[in-house]
Amino acid sequence: MSRIAYVNGQYVRHADAAVHVEDRGYQFADGVYEVCEVWQGKIVDMPRHLDRLNRSLNELQIDWPMARSAVEFVIRQVIRRNRVVNGLVYIQVTRGVAKRDHFFPAEDVAPSIVVTAKPTSPAASQVQADKGIAVVSYPENRWPRVDIKTIALLPNVLAKQHAKENGGKEAWYTDADGNVTEGGSTNAWIVTKEGALVTRPADNGILRGITRAVVLDLVQKEGLTFDERPFSLDEAFEAKEAFVTAASTLVMPVTRIDGKIIGNGHPGSVATRLRELFHTATDLQTA
């Protein structure tokens, strides 16, 4: 079956989908995006994702390309037309098509929108979670406003490629003080030897992950000890557990950091439990 994409008002074959050469997303990375999980035919936490999309658009002074309800309709249509039961749906909005100029274009230039969806394998993801992943540290190389979910991801690409070339599945950014900020496409967590979950505060220095927010809900529901603060690589090396969170990974245990074994070298009980409970704490809407 051919994949279907939505591009600026039209549903087209994925192979034929294209944007204008002077789209500001292509010229300046002048846009934002969101990724939602699709699980068992349900869209996971769509309201939270679209709330964050709204925040990103506002921060960059980009208008919605259409009414929010219309975006929700398109998301569902793209999922259905691609027959995605378990997978991911991607929404990208740019400032639109205009003559290349650093200044914002005229107000009558409409924002561009692209929506795509693809299937993923929960079984394959679980195999990875049962084993755990390795992460590799990388010096922070991004602009200060990483709380805005922009499409300007070249720094993340470089960090994740560095991780791949050094045996890692994910990169962990470290700031000038030697503290972990977040992953190249995930939020970073540790569990201390005392059993406290630790992750960096969601200020402007990290992305306010939706999966992160769900895990925080679970932490409260399960009565787990939580400490929202920075943590160093050295503290991570000595942690009982480590894991990352994102819509594309859910709760993914980390068993190695910079080649060092974390805990006993196997996924920890806290991360495993949070992964098992994850979808019980999410907002699930029919696709």
Q: Distance between CA atoms of 140 and 122, rounded to whole angstroms?
A: 31
Q: Distance between CA atoms of 136 and 138, rounded to whole angstroms?
A: 7
Burial class of residue 155 (count of CB atoms within 10 Å of its CB; 0-12, 13-18, 19+)? middle
- Of the candidates 71, 108, 107, 67, the residue with the CA atom closest to the CA atom of residue 92: 71
Residue 164 annotated to the active site: no
Q: Give the active site residue among 42, 149, 160, 169.
A: 149
Q: How many CB atoms lie within 10 A of CB 128?
A: 14
Tokens encoding 245 = 């969170």
Angle at 79 between CA 76 and CA 81, to 5 degrees: 105
**DSSP 3-state of 54:** helix
- Alpha-carbon distance values, 76 to 89, 90, 177, 282 (Å): 9, 12, 44, 18
Residues 6+ apart with CB under 8 A from 64: 54, 57, 71, 93, 111
> Would you name the residues annotated as active-site residues?
149
